[in-house]
Amino acid sequence: AWPFSCDRRLTVPPPVHYHFCGACSRERYVTKRKGAALVRFGISIPADLIGRFDALIGETGYANRSEAIRDLIRNRLVDAAWEAGAGEMIGTFTMVYDHHVHELGEALTSIQHDHHAAILSTLHIHMDAHLCLEVLVLRGPAQVVKRIADTLSGMRGVRHGKLTVTSVAGHL
């Protein structure tokens, strides 16, 4: 049914149609684009906050507010999944370590071999005569990825370790 109250009919359906949301009992505008339904909604936000947000998205190169808000939502969903320890995650663990610390190199290699199914790739760079940077690409259940990163971070000689994760692409 068309959302018009008169008898006018269009030869081409409009790109936007109304959808009644049962969850909140409100009408939403839904747009079909590239096979995915896009929902239009309004939010109330203080003027100073939206001004700061607009300045931020202008600096980061977003085409519009919608793109920036979609990224914020995705980031929060990934964070929530990570905090809950749910689902498969993929990410990188970056560490800086002193390769002169006794048996550290062997221990790092041993851990990587023990978790070969979760460690997809590594990159090793010599920063100077003592320090190395190593980046591991990890994929697996959130608990496994976190355990590997925590183990590596806690080793004597590892000066810095940082894990960055995202959900596996199909979940975004």
pTM of the predicted model as reported, rounded to 2 decimal places: 0.66
Quote the mean pLDDT of the chain. Answer: 82
- Note the pLDDT of residue 52: 94
* pLDDT, tens digit, 9 for 90 and up, residues 85-142: 777 889 999 999 999 999 998 999 999 999 999 999 999 999 999 999 999 999 999 8
- Note the pLDDT of residue 137: 97
Which residues does 145 contact at the CB level (< 8 Å), separation at least 6? 89, 91, 118, 138, 139, 163, 165
